[in-house]
């Protein structure tokens, strides 16, 4: 694997992503922000349509964020593979530089310090890993909030049913 292969893979991912509706999903950011920062003490005053709208937009946002995570994850894996391949290639081609290292980790460290290209690849891997870590499990928090909004809608529905039953 070389850098051109990685570029081709990333281009293909872009084509596939643009052709998939999930990647084109763009939830209303203002509504997402409102739903995420909604003052829970005002929940009783909010109408059911607003709460329902919050649940739907957060569901869309959850799908969108999961697609972003998947995209970053695939790019991270490919960049890491490229880095590992290029590191191995460098160590084979430059045995004189890395022979000082006693362990595989030491040899990789020596190779990394000797090659600006490897340092750039390592930087790309580290940036993608950080982005992946930032997005990882975000969907779980969103799903908890979605469920809370849905439970409030269910509670209101039950309240209406009970009040109708008492009136009979």
Which pLDDT belongs to residue 25? 74
Determine the pLDDT at residue 85: 94
Q: What is the pLDDT of residue 1?
A: 64
Residue 112 phi, psi dihedral angles, 5° rounding: -65, -45
Report the C-alpha gap between 50 and 47 in whole angstroms.
Answer: 6
pLDDT at residue 87, as a whole number: 94
For the chain, the helix, strand and coil percentages under 3-state DSSP, each to the nearest 5: 85, 0, 15
Please report the pLDDT score of residue 166 as a whole number: 66
Under-70 pLDDT residues of the chain: 1-3, 6, 17-24, 166-168
136 neighbors 130 (Cβ within 8 angstroms): no
Distance of alpha carbon 63 from alpha carbon 57, whole angstroms: 10
Q: Could you read off the pLDDT of 140-154 as tens digits, one per residue?
A: 999 999 999 999 999
- Which phi-psi region, left, alpha or beta, contains residue 137 (left: φ > 0; alpha: ψ -120 to 50)? left
pLDDT in tens, 21-42: 666 677 889 999 999 999 989 9
> Which positions ≥6 away from 125 have C-beta within 8 Å?
76, 79, 80, 83
| Predicted model pTM | 0.77
pLDDT score of 27 = 86
């Amino acid at each position: 694997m070389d850098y051109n292969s990685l570029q081709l893979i990333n281009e293909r991912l872009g084509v596939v992503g643009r052709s998939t509706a999930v990647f084109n999903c763009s939830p209303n950011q203002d509504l997402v922000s409102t739903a995420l920062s909604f003052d829970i003490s005002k929940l009783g005053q909010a109408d059911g349509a607003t709460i329902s709208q919050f649940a739907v937009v957060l569901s869309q946002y959850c799908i969108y964020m999961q697609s972003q995570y998947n995209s970053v994850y695939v790019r991270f894996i490919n960049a890491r593979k490229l880095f590992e391949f290029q590191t191995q290639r460098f160590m084979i081609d430059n045995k004189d530089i890395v022979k000082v290292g006693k362990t595989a980790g030491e040899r990789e460290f020596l190779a990394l310090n000797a090659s600006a290209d490897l340092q750039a690849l390592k930087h790309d891997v580290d940036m993608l890993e950080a982005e992946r870590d930032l997005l990882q499990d975000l969907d779980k928090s969103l799903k908890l909030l979605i469920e809370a909004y849905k439970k409030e809608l269910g509670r209101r529905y039950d309240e209406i049913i009970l009040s109708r039953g008492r009136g009979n």
